[in-house]
Amino acid sequence: MIASVIVDVPAKQTDRPFDYKVPDHLQGIIKTGMRVVVPFGPRKIQGFVIDFQEKSSFSNLKEIEEVLDIVPVLNDELMSLSYWLSEETLCFRISAMQVMLPAAMKAKYEKIFQPLANKEALPEAVSSLLNREGCLPWKDAVANGLLKILQELVADGKMDLRYKVKSKTNFKKIRVISLAKSKEESEQLLESLSTSAQKQKNVLSYLLASQENVKSVTEAKAEAKVSDSTIKTMLNKGYLTESYQEVYRDPFEHRSFERSVSFQLTDQQSASIKPILESVEQYSHDTFLLHGVTGSGKTEIYLQTIEKVLSQKRQAIMLVPEISLTPQMVERFKGRFGEQVAVMHSGLSVGEKYDEWRKIHRKEVNVVVGARSAVFAPFEKLGVIIIDEEHESSYKQEDAPRYHARDVAIERAKRHDCPVILGSATPSLESFARAQKGNYKLLTLSKRMNNQAMPRVSIIDMREELREGNRSMFSRELLEQLQKRLEKKEQTVLFLNRRGHSSFIMCRDCGYVMQCPHCEVSMTYHRNSEKMKCHYCGEEAHVPSTCPECQSEHIRYFGTGTQKVEEELTKLVPHARVIRMDVDTTTRKGSHEKLLTAFGEGQADILLGTQMIAKGLDFPNITLVGVLSADTMLHLPDFRSAEKTFQLLTQVSGRAGRHEKEGEVVIQTYTPEHFSIDLAKTQQFELFYNQEMTMRKLGQYPPFYFMALITISHENVLKVVSVSEEISQLLKQKLSSQAVILGPVASPIARIQNRYRYQCLIKYKKEEGLKPLLKAILNDYQSAKKDSVMIHIDVQPYIMM
């Protein structure tokens, strides 16, 4: 038998299957989708088995060294999906496979077999080899020729193969104790101990009284009110025995979720869910665009669709953008489906993510709620894939493989004959256009629950404020509204339209701005560390006390970061209690959740934050939303900037007045006449859509054109220019006259980590020859690594920088 293996060397020359002989002792054990160790040149590396053949056209094949899995980690569907992914996004096959697995599986690991059944139920050959922790290391299993037996035991559910990830990502274990002697003997012991051993007696009574015979040490100590030394003494005397138990790391372990039941759907909801449920029942693939204003009950539709899917013994993937994967969101799914839900997002540790993935792989859960990469969850019988806030740009991955979760979802759903639901209050232009054409089925929820009115929105022209002498970052209107809320004890959300906090240092005399020495971007000021930092390469510098250009002392941080706003708030409304949420206050694990809970419990009057508070917040007492600077995003070099501005303003406005109390929104701007801001006032998506479509048509942008962005970088600027010219010439020769080729021009960020960057942008409608041409370009430059020129190709890019 010959196995075809994709090896873990992400390079053009190795981006193809390599043939290896399957040694006799691994015949019948190795399956496709398993990871193996193979000799590769002088090294031993990891690879994925993708196929088997009788013969190979190569002679002198080497043998597979070792197999790393007992059950395939990639099933057939995911294997073929990885092929599709590498074709679509022009990435290496190995990258496409690795992106589907949790990071822990790429790390170094040690493998162990863990019994799931009693020791007595295992064959003697296996049980006699269990180590002190009750498991069988892989190495020992191989050394004793037990793989075949173990494979059967795993199939019978009596054993499980686990990866003991080295470094920090071990399985989580807790220390447990139990009575060493029988119940009767322990009771006698309790009687016989003198009162001077009262603490030991407490432990004995506690263990005797409890139902389970094994207790965690932490719990026992707390309940019996004793310290470690008592436990130690009792272990030494042989009253107790101790061992370790593996537990799943549960990021929500200290929370209980209140069970919720389905609501009786409103007429609009019923009308929308009907075609979705039909598609589920009939095992047919359809893509639905669920366009519903904020608070119109989209989530309830997701929940009831999933319920249907579960009743068919199928599984569901629910994608939410990273920043709106809030505890509130998780609670709604855990509340409805309890233990059947796995949660995956970047806030989890590598180990926690791995544990959640294992629950899916072992079919212990049927629903996954997660960010982008959860679209690869290894479910085998998908009944629906849902993408909430489908317009969010975080669904596009910016590193290879540069995939969009929406495309992957639709591709998987086709293979599983199930529907995809794309939900949003402000769908992406691409999706809405597809729905208009009938490619997607449009479902509309136009009313909020209980018919609450949409919040009243006022737009404040900040130039006017300045003309009338108000130099504050708060308009008079916003300040007045804010004070009213403080009096009425209602809550306010203040939103700063900026990524993170981008305070930069500027000299007020000469205009000098501190730049990163390696990248063409200004450095940002980080107050907590009192340092200047480059967000692209991590370069740090001291904060200058005088201007390096003109020696002026008037150099200070500029721009309105959240910290600056907080300072101003302290001056304007000194009694208000403020919670600030930004990259600085939410770096620690769980801090995001803590801050939100505190705000929800009314521990603060004002929640001040960046993008991360725009979504998912649902508190009844929020009656005012203020947007401090609506236009910062409008000026980015991005054809989607108007769309993003409209979406964001609509999202934040949706935070106000979601329940009984009416909501109000104040948007401050320097460009009130811009249609994306003007239309956010009435939140009329269709009007915005029509106007923006006209702009896109004129500018030849998506959804009228497809795009591909080629970025070329090198340390020598002349080299970059000449290669970019070559590529652009080639494109002009080979593509049809309908294709528009822009560039080469310097990228908006012209240098990163000392590499100069140029780009060519291709806009096209139908271009059969494009993919092969792009592949050829990649081949040409990647394989020869021509003078270390780097080429990146992003098909349907979201970031043009």
Binding at 84: pick from ligand ADP, Zn ion, none (beta carbon under 5-8 Å per type): none
If one asks whether residue 257 binds ligand ADP (CB under 6 A), the answer comes out as no
The binder of ligand ADP chosen from 4, 269, 315, 481 (CB under 6 A): 269
Residue 391 near residue 431, CB atoms below 8 Å: yes
Residue 668 sits at φ, ψ, to 5 deg, of -100, 135
From 114-122, 396-404, 498-506, 534-542, give the range in contact with Zn ion by CB under 5 A: 534-542
297 binds ligand ADP (CB under 6 A): yes
Rounded distance, CA 672 to CA 674, Å?
6
- Nearer to ligand ADP by Cβ, of 487 and 660: the residue is 660
Partner touching 235 among Zn ion, ligand ADP, none, CB below 5 to 8 Å by kind: none
Among Zn ion, ligand ADP, none, partner that 784 touches (CB below 5 to 8 angstroms by kind): none
Which of 386/519 has CB closer to Zn ion? 519
Residue 54 corresponds to which tokens in the numbers above?
A: 């009788």
Q: Is 170 in the site for ligand ADP (CB under 6 A)?
A: no
**Minimum distance between the CB of residue 536 and ligand ADP, rounded to whole angstroms?**
35
Instruction: State the minimum distance, in angstroms, from the CB of residue 388 to ligand ADP.
Output: 7
Which parts of 444-483 interact with ligand ADP (CB under 6 A)?
Answer: 449
Contact 59, 31 (CB under 8 A): no
Stretch that binds ligand ADP, among 44-52, 291-299, 553-561, 596-604 (CB under 6 A): 291-299
Q: Which helix (H) or strand (E) holds 461?
A: strand 456-461
- Residues in the interface with ligand ADP (CB under 6 A) total 14
Helical segments of 39-196, H only: 76-89, 93-98, 124-127, 138-143, 147-155, 183-192
Give the one residue of 73, 146, 387, 507 binding Zn ion; rule: CB under 5 A: 507
The reply to whether 189 sits near Zn ion by the rule CB under 5 A is no
Q: Which tokens hold the place of 753?
A: 């980590």
* Beta carbon nearer to ligand ADP, 13 or 450: 450
State which of residues 37, 129, 449, 537 lies at the interface with Zn ion (CB under 5 A): 537
Q: Is 292 a residue that touches ligand ADP (CB under 6 A)?
A: yes
Contacting residue, 265, 410, 799, 801, with ligand ADP by CB under 6 A: 265
Q: Which residue type is seen at 25? A: H
- Does 657 sit near ligand ADP (CB under 6 A)? no
Residue 743, binding choice from Zn ion, ligand ADP, none, Cβ under 5 to 8 Å by partner class: none
Angle made by CA atoms 729, 733, 734, in degrees to the nearest 5: 120
| 295 touches ligand ADP (CB under 6 A) | yes
Closest by Cα among 368, 376, 371, 381 to 340: 368
Of 128, 167, 450, 552, the residue at the interface with Zn ion (CB under 5 A) is: 552
DSSP 329-372: HHHHHHHHHGGGEEEE-TTS-HHHHHHHHHHHHTT--SEEEESG
Phi then psi for residue 114, to 5 deg, are -110, 120
Q: Which does 528 bind (CB under 5 to 8 A by kind): Zn ion, ligand ADP, none?
A: none
Residues 6 or more apart in contact with residue 371 via CB below 8 angstroms:
319, 320, 321, 322, 325, 344, 345, 346, 394
**Given the complex with Zn ion, which of 193 and 541 has the nearer CB atom?**
541
* 251 binds, options ligand ADP, Zn ion, none, Cβ within 5 to 8 A by partner type: none
CB of 767 to ligand ADP, least distance (A): 38
Residue recorded with tokens 């995001």: 592
CB 144 within 8 A of CB 125: yes
Examine residue 513 and tell whether it contacts Zn ion (CB under 5 A). no
The candidate with the shortest Cα–Cα distance to 321, out of 383, 406, 382, 241, is 406
CA 77 to CA 415: how far, in whole Å? 8
- 3-state DSSP assignment of residue 558: strand
The answer to the question of residue 636 lying near Zn ion (CB under 5 A) is no
- Residue 512 interacts with, from ligand ADP, Zn ion, none (CB under 5-8 Å by kind): Zn ion
Residues in the chain: 801
Number of residues that bind Zn ion (CB under 5 A): 15
The yes or no reply on residue 514 touching Zn ion (CB under 5 A) is no
Query: What is the bridge-based pairing of β-strands 172-179 and 578-581?
Result: unpaired
Core vs surface per residue 379-414: b (16+ CB within 10 A) or e: beebbbbbbbbbbbbbbbbeebbbbbbbbbbbbbbe
Residues of this chain that bind ligand ADP (CB under 6 A): 263-266, 269, 292, 294-300, 449
Residues of this chain that bind Zn ion (CB under 5 A): 507, 509-510, 512, 516, 518-519, 534, 536-537, 539, 547, 549-550, 552
